[in-house]
Amino acid sequence: MNANDTKLRQLDYVEHMLEAIRLVRSYVKGMSRDAFFADKKTQQAVVLNILIIGEAAAQTAKEYPEWANRHPEVPWRAMRGMRNRLAHGYFDINLELVWDTVQGPLLELRSQLLGVLSEESAAKK
């Protein structure tokens, strides 16, 4: 495996996170907080994609710590923590926290990840 292959793998994780964010946003588009709290199917779809984001972040930080450290604007540890909270506390998921995450931090994360892609693309040139 050469350096370019490694970089592609790191960016694959970023792409997986961006796709999960896109899916979450599509699931809750036009949905009120009350509608979200009443819709188990949407809750489960959102939680699954937040788990995917957290797992991709955890793998990135574990497999490529130096690369992740070069992007401190991305909350790698917090994403892993959210994933762990959801995965290990399944019967006690805080839906208020999930909803709030979807409405704010997830949008910020999207911007941060797009910034990483842009920065990495510029570095290739």
**Single-letter code of the amino acid located at 5:** D
Selection from 43, 46, 13, 29 nearest residue 116 by Cα: 13
Q: Is 88 a catalytic residue?
A: yes
Q: CA 12: distance to chain centroid?
A: 13
Among 9, 33, 88, 110, the one annotated catalytic: 88
Which position has the token pair 């909350």? 75
Among 16, 71, 80, 83, the one annotated catalytic: 83
Residues 6+ apart with CB under 8 A from 112: 71, 73, 74, 75
Count of H helices and E strands in the chain? 7, 0
Q: Is 83 a catalytic residue?
A: yes
What span, in angstroms and rounded, lies between the C-alpha atoms of 108 and 125?
Answer: 26
Active-site residue numbers? 83, 88
